[in-house]
Chain A
Amino acid sequence: MTDADVQAERRRAARALLASPLMTSGSEAKRSEDFRLVRKHAGELASWFTQETGWRLVVDAGAARLYKTPARPDDATRPARAPRTRVPFTRRRYVLLCLALAVLERADAQITLGRLADGVLTATGDPVLVAAGIEFRMDRREERSDLVAAVRLLLEWGVLHRVAGDEEAYLSEASNDVLYDVRRRVLAALPAATRGPSTVEAAAPDQRLTLLTSDVAPDTEELRLRALRHRLTRRLLDDPVVYYAELPEDERAYLVSQRHAITRRITELTGLVAEMRAEGIAMVDPEDELTDLRMPEQGTDGHATLLVAAHLATADGPRTEPQLVELVRQLAAQHRSYWRKGAAEPAAAAELLSQALDRLTALDLVTREGGHVTAKPALVRYALAAPTIRKARSRA
């Protein structure tokens, strides 16, 4: 095996970890191959992540976990999603998920869905939950489906392993029970907060987030610089674009001076390429796979997003959402033959725009504020490329 092969394997393993920070053995073929590679290169990967990001990588025979503490607590565009429908979790589902985990934490090696539901119901008696307006009774189908969404997520992660029965039957009738094995080691690998949430006493939500993700405060100059590098590398590894203007002064100064060193290390590990511009840095992926949201993307939604992006990139100044809805309406008429059925109906435009803006926001390409949509600098990369001679040559 040549050095290049080893490097390619390690790159694949690192990418797999960045895409799914919790990997377990025994999943489908592609992922189990990735898991094998992660195990194989665990030592180097762990030391890389510790060195460059301060993230912990724990690998054993059953699971690999990269504790990817986010460097940016204000990003609300990465919800947990229901495994099948990809619908983002609601507040209720998150609560339910946590309660289910609390029950599983105390459960034996096996549990049934009915028993789990009972445990969750008992736990919802917590006065704090009641005060917050969270209330469950498992007698309605929608409420059971909230629980099932949480359970399916646990199945996907490998915390639970289905032994008998299926959730669909439970949805239609609560007496149809499902039996699971509980994989405690995976369960133990789930919480990633640097501090036990039960020891966090702050009441303000933002303060809670800070405490949950806080690292030990660096007390020497060297450690301070290291913490800076960790924060910046974390952002570059996880986020689509890092804008200088949005960084605190010390991070900005450090990134400006160290950008080549930092991005080179990232490129070596992951194969991501630094798109270095005056306004910031985007680690872009030539292989177009290390992401959960694609741009450009095929299909009606992807196309609408692309066209809205192109419009915003070439427009001067912000646009209001009504203006953009009108734009989407025109686009829908124009592309009627390619877009999905019903997309050209007047009512569909707002929905299409909303998903397009969600995606652009998630990719950190626009900001939405008070009904105004403003392009961020990196959006310009989606401007319509002028057909130049240079371009023709590069095609040839």
Chain B
Amino acid sequence: MSDAPPPQPFAYLQAPNAALYGQVLAVFAQARERFIVHLRPEDVAAELRQGSGGTAAVPVGTEAVGAALEKLVEWGNLRADADTGRVTSVEDFHRARYLYQLTRHGQAALRAMAVYEQALGRRGELQSVALADIAEQLGSLLVLAQAEDPDPAKTHLLLLQIAERFGSLADNAQAFMASLRRTIDFQDGDEEAFIAYKDRLVEYIERFIADLAGRGAQIADLLTRLNAAGVGRLLLAAARREAGDAVPDSDEPEAELARAEAAQSALVAWENRWRGLADWFLSRSPRQPSQAKLLRGAAVSAITGLINTVAALNERRGGRSDRSADFRALARFFAQAADDAAAHRLWRAAFALTPARHLTVDAATQAAWQEADLAATTPWAEAPPLEISPRLRETGSYERRGRPNRVADRTAARQVLAEQVEREAAQTTAARARLATDGPVLLSELAGPDGLDPHAFRLFLAVLGDALSARVPGESESSALTGDGTMEVRLKLVDPDTTVRIPTADGVLCGPEHIIEIIDLAPTGDVV
């Protein structure tokens, strides 16, 4: 076996039968604990079947065990020695027989795996004892810090203890945070996993979070006081002591230098640890909460999630369904739909978001029905059909109610408007001409014997309104420009007791007699 390949004691972990290899190796490890070194394949198989030593029984054939042993020998985990013991059957005799034992490499690998699994399998339990220890040690440290000349050895030891205790606390906390964050999905109704999770969470909260709330405050207080008392001095002492270990005692300048350097780096490390400790229990700012606070937050949100899940489980038990599961069920139904048409039907039934759909009717058709006075028993074929504009029927487009025409011919409308404007302008001009007075006249004379025509009267009312509203109370005279600035009106009260009557087409206007003068400022023709 001189040209054997270098041992690969971890190769079995990646092999297809990793579980079996692990179990076989576990059998050897247990045998070693009982001071048995060599094992025959039959013994291994029997141990596996019995499932002794805490492992579950594995029904596995001798053949499979033999193959596994050979593989393990190949990788260097086991060593095979020829078996010279007696046999009880012909087949056994003809088979190559060996005794197996763990190699050095195999043992080392087993030990490594044990450490690995221990580290992985660390449950997220936070020893509340650790908190108490840390508090106590910090208390001692505070006593030292307040001392005149603290003992470096004591200081160092205390700091080491705190660091170790805190290290394991932080590791556990990290593990727990990770397990909290891991989404345990109960979507498939894995109630067992859920109950396990729930128990763990409740246990954790009982054991630790409550303690963290109490102790955490105490520790935070101690840390604050230590910081105030100058913990740097203690850290420096510890760092110096460590440096003394690292560099042998000597008075050479080089050694002196090396010691200073070592002390410096040790100090940096200690300061770093101290800061970690402080950050754990003291929030730096509201935006950077302490680890302890984060842990509590995580626990609280985990409780919320827990309650939601309990509610969902209850609903499911009560026949109600949780919506996420409903949507997933629908996704499955859609996936199993025979075709798109089936999917559309399912869509309508499950979501009911489809709009109503109705045929249309217009006023002309309705009138036609009305006129035909249809009985409810008239077949469609005998009722007047929908009146569809011939234009739409011919071209596929028409003026649709409620929508603007795309290209509207407005020539006719414009002409009508133009005519109307012209007519109104002419009337206004006539009215102005009729109203304008050549100097002051009496109101009663303004209208003349024929009265005012409607246009002139309307204009007159506007003018009169302007003039009256411009009059200051108590005054009997006023003058005003009309709103458009084209006429001026002057009004003077003659006698408040004399009432004049102005006949117009719209009726008779009554009021006290005035002297009125209306001046057309824009001569005829200028007004547009």
Contact = CB atoms under 8 A, between A and B. Distances in A.
Interface in A268-315: 272-273, 275-279, 282-286, 288-296, 298-300, 302-304, 306-307, 310, 313
B387 interface: yes
B379 A279 contact: yes
Contact of B350 (A18, A191, A335): A191
Interface in A29-57: none
Nearest to B401: A288
Contacts of B352: 21, 67-70, 192
Contacts of B384: 385, 391
Given A73-B349, A292-B355, A196 B321 contact: yes
A84 to B, nearest CB: 17
A74 B344 CA distance: 10
Nearest to B388: A296
A86 interface: no
B331 interface: yes
A88 B394 CA distance: 30
Interface stretch (A124-132, A160-168, A222-230, A245-253): A124-132
A154 B106 CA distance: 59
A144 to B, nearest CB: 18
Contact of B364 (A237, A304, A395): A395
Contacts of B386: 296, 381-382, 385
Contacts of B349: 69-70, 73, 193, 209, 212-213
Interface in B333-363: 333-363
B340 A90 contact: yes
B301 to A, nearest CB: 10
Interface string A58-102: 000000000111100111111110000000111100110011011
Interface residues of B, number: 74
Interface in B354-400: 354-364, 366-369, 371, 374, 376-381, 383-388, 392-398, 400
Interface stretch (A5-13, A170-178, A197-205, A319-327): A197-205
B477 interface: no
Contact of B340 (A88, A101, A126): A88
B438 interface: no
B34 interface: no
Nearest to A337: B395
Contacts of B378: 277-278
Given A241-B359, A286-B362, A296-B392, A80 B340 contact: no
A300 B387 contact: no
B181 to A, nearest CB: 14
A76 B395 contact: no
B324 A22 contact: no
Given A238-B357, A298-B392, A390-B371, A381 B326 contact: no
A97 to B, nearest CB: 8
B496 interface: no
A198 B359 contact: no
A362 interface: yes
A98 B336 contact: no
A143 to B, nearest CB: 15
B387 A208 contact: no
Given A69-B352, A278-B379, A286 B331 contact: no
B328 interface: yes
B321 to A, nearest CB: 3
B287 interface: no
Contacts, number: 299
Contact of A101 (B320, B327, B363, B368): B327
Contacts of B393: 306-307, 310, 384
B355 A205 contact: no
Interface centre among A70, A133, A190, A198 (most CB of B within 10 A): A198
Contacts of A302: 396
Contact of B326 (A198, A213, A259, A260): A198
Given A239-B357, A283-B358, A377-B381, A78 B331 contact: no
A134 interface: yes
Interface in B218-235: none
Given A70-B348, A294-B360, A377-B380, A385 B387 contact: yes
A199 B328 CA distance: 12
A286 to B, nearest CB: 6
A19 B354 CA distance: 8
A80 B396 contact: no
Contacts of A394: 364, 367-368, 371
Given A197-B350, A198-B329, A74 B345 contact: yes
B397 to A, nearest CB: 5
A45 to B, nearest CB: 14
Nearest to A260: B376
B388 A293 contact: no
A339 interface: yes
Given A205-B336, A278-B378, A391-B387, A199 B396 contact: no
Contact of B339 (A91, A298, A379): A91
B334 A95 contact: yes
A385 B348 contact: no
A89 B343 CA distance: 9
A294 B324 CA distance: 37
B385 A381 contact: yes
Given A198-B322, A306-B388, A191 B327 contact: yes
Contact of A98 (B320, B322, B327, B360): B327
Given A91-B340, A205-B337, A298 B400 contact: yes
Interface string B233-254: 0000000000000000000000
Contacts of A378: 359, 380
Nearest to A101: B327
A73 B355 CA distance: 15
Interface string B66-97: 00000000000000000000000000000000
A114 interface: no
A179 interface: no
Contacts of A390: 368, 371
Contacts of B387: 385, 391
B325 interface: yes
B396 A303 contact: yes
B300 interface: no
B483 interface: no
Interface string B111-144: 0000000000000000000000000000000000
By Cβ-Cβ distance, the 10 closest A-B pairs, closest first, are A196-B321, A303-B396, A192-B352, A98-B331, A102-B327, A132-B335, A76-B341, A78-B354, A18-B356, A288-B360
Interface of B: 319-364, 366-369, 371, 374, 376-381, 383-388, 392-398, 400-402
23 contacts: A21-B352, A73-B348, A89-B347, A90-B343, A91-B339, A94-B331, A94-B337, A102-B331, A128-B336, A157-B353, A196-B321, A197-B330, A197-B333, A198-B321, A205-B346, A275-B359, A278-B379, A279-B380, A286-B366, A298-B396, A298-B398, A313-B385, A385-B384
Given A105-B327, A288-B401, A294-B360, 7 more contacts: A75-B348, A79-B347, A288-B360, A295-B360, A302-B396, A310-B393, A313-B385
